[in-house]
Amino acid sequence: MSELEVTRRRFLGASAATAGGVVAANKLARAAEPTSAAGPVRTPEMLDIRLEVNGRRHPLTIEPRTTLLNALRENLELTGTKKGCDRGSCGACTVHLDGRRINSCLTLAARCQGKAITTIEGLARGAELHPMQAAFVAHDGFQCGYCTPGQIMSAAALVEEGRAVSDDAIREWMSGNLCRCGAYPNIVAAIQQAMERGRS
Ligand code: FES
Ligand code: FES
């Protein structure tokens, strides 16, 4: 065998080894990638609970400290409920619990078992908007829209509470819902419209 032939064989052998190494490395990398089907890592303190959200029951496995807001957004992928301050100051996370408005960022998910939770996704009746949603659209009660789900959930509950008796009362009872865009006059007008439609 000529020296040239030996050198060529060595080159091909080294190339094959390198290619094999790349393939093996790729396989290892793929094996290490988390798959989307993998569930949460279970720790001894985790709880199995059921939440009834928008008329449907959902089994969940969560940490005891999981807030309702995180359970909705991260476990159930109901991202219509927004996270603003995450400390009870802005109202972006407002949902209904047995018909009452609450800040879901301040509420433990495990405490909501056996109660009816309604989020912005469950407010409309099929293709028909809830009157408060329709009023917000009619009055441009939003700009960026980030606070809007919380505003609408809070406003719908406020009308049910019978407290929206004047513009001042609406402003007072909606004061827990902040709007950085300053859409307040339109929000008050929307609530007035939804109230009047409810009366007629
Ligand atoms: S996110 Fe809950 S009050 Fe701000
Ligand atoms: S519409 Fe932008 S924060 Fe309210």
Does 73 have pLDDT greater than 80?
yes
How far the first Cα of the chain sits from its last, in Å, is: 102
Average pLDDT on 154-164 reads: 95
Q: Quickly count: other Cβ atoms within 10 Å of residue 158's Cβ.
A: 21
Whole-angstrom distance, CA of residue 134 vs CA of residue 152: 10
- Tell me, what's the pLDDT at 45? 93
| Count of other CB atoms within 10 angstroms of residue 51 | 23
Which tens digit of pLDDT belongs to each residue from 91-145? 999 999 999 999 999 999 999 999 999 999 999 999 999 999 999 999 999 999 9
What pLDDT is stored for residue 3 in this prediction? 52
Cβ < 6 Å from ligand 1: which residues? 83-86, 88-93, 103, 105
Rounded to the nearest angstrom, the distance between the alpha carbon of 71 and the centre of ligand 2 is: 24
User: What global pTM score does this model have?
Assistant: 0.80
Instruction: Answer yes or no: is pLDDT of 146 > 70.
Output: yes
Under 8 Å between Cβ of 105 and 88: yes
The confidence score (pLDDT) of residue 197 equals 79
Atom of ligand 1 nearest to the CA of 90: 4
Nearest CA to ligand 1 atom 3: 88
Centre of ligand 2 to C-alpha 174, Å, is 14
pLDDT exceeds 80 at position 56: yes
**Best of 82, 143, 187 to mutate for ligand 2, by most ligand atoms within 8 A of CB?**
143
> Distance between alpha carbon 38 and the CA centroid of its chain, in Å?
20
What is the distance in A from the centroid of ligand 1 to the CA of 8? 69
Residue 153: pLDDT band with limits 50, 70, 90: very high
The per-residue pLDDT for range 4-39, each reduced to its tens digit, is 454 444 544 443 343 333 334 344 334 444 444 456
Spacing, Cα 85 to ligand 1 middle (Å): 5
